[in-house]
């Protein structure tokens, strides 16, 4: 499989990496088989996160049967102060059972102010101290909002950016890509399948293949999915006229309800946490029920009680999404999930 240099990190990675989210939901044996098949089939990098439940542990078990130089390991921590990020790094090294991590990413930096705080309060410095020791080889950041992404790559030590880019999320995605290329930061396209919303693998992969600097790390749930995506990548076909027509159709259908997590609608002055409600369906599809029921979604459902139905968020959304309607649907989905979960474990 073609390899790409990940910006000035110099890491040579296959166009397709292994995203560590969906393996949390699989029975352990299946998860291990999927990870193993990806590495055996030629994928040379795995990307996970401290926040992805048992993902790091499972990856840690599988990689013991591979030589360390055969693969690159990327993970992330969302700590916003030095003590928390240090704990997260130590935990990742332990769970992955390795002496070093090839790329450590600040996970989901929410905005420019928070990033500046992390620089000022020593969080970034603590990570760089690990880099000096060689326990982290390179440092990057992930974000959903363009302004946050741009803030991180302005920092001279951020070598790689991970940001959403797929054929629906092009506006900010392409701006982030352009900015990354300018500073020679590597670019990992997050959400190549739109967080589960885009189910046409050929269109998704061919869309990304047209950008030579871009690599991506879809989450796989089966050995067959690994094979399918890698075959598409190796085939290297450009988008056909038919693909382009399908993409236009997707934009019409999904584009009117797909939340890009850009954050332009927030903050809501009544304290409603809009994005976790807007992305409820995708979260329920991709994450274990326990994660959804105990995470941001649960707090967001509570915050929805404060919604006054004023509609200001809809005026701010550049994609004109029916936010109020989608939030209500999100609350309903959460309640259904909760009652299914409670019935199962009653």
Residues that bind ligand SF4 (CB under 6 A): 259-265, 268, 270, 272, 274-275, 278, 307-313, 317, 319, 321, 323-324
Q: State the minimum distance, in angstroms, from the CB of residue 38 to ligand SF4.
A: 31
Query: Where are the alpha helices (H) located in 19-145, listed in sequence order?
Result: 28-40, 55-62, 82-96, 112-120, 123-133
Residue 144: partners with Cβ closer than 8 Å, 6 or more residues away:
108, 163, 164, 261, 262, 263
Choose among 21, 91, 88: nearest CA to 53.
21
Closest CB to ligand SF4 among residues 240, 308: 308
Closest CB to ligand SF4 among residues 3, 270: 270
Residue 197 structure tokens? 């919303």
User: Residue 246 to residues 48, 149, 202, 319: CA-CA distances in angstroms?
Assistant: 31, 30, 11, 20
Q: State the minimum distance, in angstroms, from the CB of residue 94 to ligand SF4.
A: 35
Q: Is there a contact between 303 and 272 (Cβ–Cβ < 8 Å)? A: yes
Q: State the minimum distance, in angstroms, from the CB of residue 315 to ligand SF4.
A: 9
Q: State the minimum distance, in angstroms, from the CB of residue 248 to ligand SF4.
A: 19
Closest CB to ligand SF4 among residues 7, 263: 263
Residue 220 structure tokens? 């796989």
Q: State the minimum distance, in angstroms, from the CB of residue 211 to ligand SF4.
A: 22
Closest CB to ligand SF4 among residues 257, 338: 257
Residue 36 structure tokens? 């193993």
Closest CB to ligand SF4 among residues 86, 314: 314
């Amino acid at each position: 499989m073609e390899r790409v240099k990940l910006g000035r990190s110099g890491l040579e990675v296959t166009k397709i990496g292994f995203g560590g989210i969906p393996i949390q939901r699989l029975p352990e044996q299946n998860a291990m088989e999927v990870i193993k098949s990806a590495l055996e089939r030629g994928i040379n990098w795995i990307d996970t996160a401290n926040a992805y439940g048992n993902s790091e542990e499972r990856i840690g078990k599988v990689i013991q049967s591979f030589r360390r130089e055969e693969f690159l390991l990327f993970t992330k921590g969302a700590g916003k102060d030095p003590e928390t990020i240090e704990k997260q790094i130590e935990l990742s090294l332990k769970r992955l059972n390795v002496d070093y991590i090839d790329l450590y990413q600040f996970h989901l930096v929410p905005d420019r102010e928070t990033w500046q705080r992390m620089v000022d309060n020593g969080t970034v410095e603590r990570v760089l101290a690990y880099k000096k020791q060689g326990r982290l080889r390179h440092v990057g950041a992930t974000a959903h909002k363009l302004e946050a992404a741009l803030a991180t790559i302005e920092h001279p030590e951020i070598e790689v950016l991970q940001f959403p880019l797929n054929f629906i999320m092009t506006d900010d995605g392409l701006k982030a890509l352009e900015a990354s290329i300018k500073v020679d930061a590597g670019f990992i396209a997050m959400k190549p399948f739109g967080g589960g919303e885009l189910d046409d693998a050929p269109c998704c992969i061919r869309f990304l293949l047209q950008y030579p600097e871009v690599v991506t790390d879809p989450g796989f749930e089966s050995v067959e999915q690994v094979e399918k995506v890698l075959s598409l990548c190796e085939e290297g076909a450009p988008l056909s006229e038919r693909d382009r027509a399908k993409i236009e159709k997707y934009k019409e259908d999904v584009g009117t309800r797909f939340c890009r997590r850009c954050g332009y609608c927030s903050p809501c002055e009544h304290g409603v946490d809009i994005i976790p409600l807007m992305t409820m369906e995708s979260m329920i599809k991709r994450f274990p029920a326990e994660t959804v029921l105990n995470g941001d979604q649960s707090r967001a459902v509570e915050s929805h009680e404060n919604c006054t139905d004023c509609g200001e968020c809809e005026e701010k959304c550049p994609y004109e999404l029916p936010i109020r309607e989608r939030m209500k649907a999100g609350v309903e989905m959460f309640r259904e999930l909760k009652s299914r979960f409670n019935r199962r474990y009653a």
